[in-house]
Amino acid sequence: MKINSSYQFDRFKPERMQSEGRRLTKNVESHSQTLMQLFLEKGLYEAQKVLDVGCGTGAMIDLFSNVLTDKIYYGVDNSSEILDIAKKQHERKEERVTFVQSNANHLPFSDNSFDFVYTRLVLMHNSNPNDIIREMIRVCKPGGVICAVEIDDGTQVFHPYGEELSKLINANIMYAHLNGTDRTIGRKLYSFFVNENSVSDVNIIIQTSDYSNKNRKNEEMPILLKFALGEDEGKRFVEQGLLTENERMELVSTFIPEFCSDPNRFESSSFMYAFGKKVD
């Protein structure tokens, strides 16, 4: 399995590791209520042994293990550095939480080991996500639940300057694609799941995150715009021919500042959740 060149945690500089660790944890916290509600509804409450594939800092495990204290949790990630962060944050839960370094397409567990197996924002970074899904199915017990949570940046909506800001998002989608990341993978989850003969009861749930001035700080830049611009303010898109320099300059100097300062601005984006059961 090929992992993309644009996201390899162990190759980050120390300062970026720290900021990225905080960002990953905050990302889970931003929609923790929805995560908890959907996972409980779809079988987490009844599960006894839970596996997080691509666990990162362990933020998801922390969320669930703080509430559901009677379960055993395992987290797998290919990054030794990020697992060090996860282990430190869960030192008091050693009896219930175990972290293991491994690739997601070759999980170090026996067949039929877990009641609930999930992954979040991992498939998008891999060249063959089906291999990961099949490993998740393999280690899941018959009748157990598998779940994948992914983004789809193609669902992003802005007002005002929707057309102009969408150009930036589309440039980021294309740039990510050139570097091996699929930022529109959410729409593909249904076909991934239903094409597996050992998965039944496939269900897709779309969670929209709608933002206005009522629930964000004044003039705060939307996270996807901030992420797309990055430290180089989109210059990499110009270099790749995905934006012209004039378009980049208008975004930086006009469209984004005016969008952020508009008291009636609106932004919406989506997370997509795929749930399925392993056939008995």
pLDDT in tens, 124-161: 999 999 999 999 999 999 999 999 999 999 999 999 99
Residue 187: inside a domain: yes
More confidently predicted of 212 and 162: 162
Share of the chain above pLDDT 90, in %: 65
Any domain includes 3: no
User: Does position 213 have pLDDT exceeding 50, yes or no?
Assistant: yes
Query: Rounded to an integer, what distance in angstroms lies between the CA atom of residue 170 and that of residue 166?
Result: 6
- Specify if 197 maps to a domain: yes
114-118, 240-244, 258-262, range with the lowest pLDDT: 258-262
Distance between CA atoms of residues 228 and 164, nearest Å: 13
Residue numbers of the domain that contains 203: 9-278
pLDDT attached to residue 215: 53
Determine whether 99 is exposed, middle or buried from the number of CB atoms within 10 Å of its CB (0-12, 13-18, 19+). buried
Q: What mean pLDDT value characterizes the chain?
A: 87
Within a domain: 133:
yes
Domain of 116, CATH number, reads 3.40.50.150
Question: Each residue of 41-61: pLDDT tens digit?
Answer: 999 999 999 999 999 999 999
Mean pLDDT of 194-209: 94
Beta strands 199-211 and 72-77 are unpaired
How far from chain centre, in Å, is Cα 148? 9
- Ramachandran bin of 118, using left for φ above 0, alpha for ψ from -120 to 50, beta for the remaining angles: beta
Instruction: Assess if residue 46 is contained within a domain.
Output: yes
Q: Which two tokens stand for residue 71?
A: 């379960």
Cα–Cα distance, 140 to 129 (Å, whole number) = 17
C-alpha closest to that of 226 among 19, 77, 85: 19
Domains contained in the chain, number: 1
Contact (CB, 8 A) for 148 and 191:
no
Is the pLDDT reported for residue 25 higher than 60?
no
Tell me whether the omega of the peptide bond preceding residue 129 falls within 30 degrees of 0, making it cis: no
The model carries a pTM of 0.86
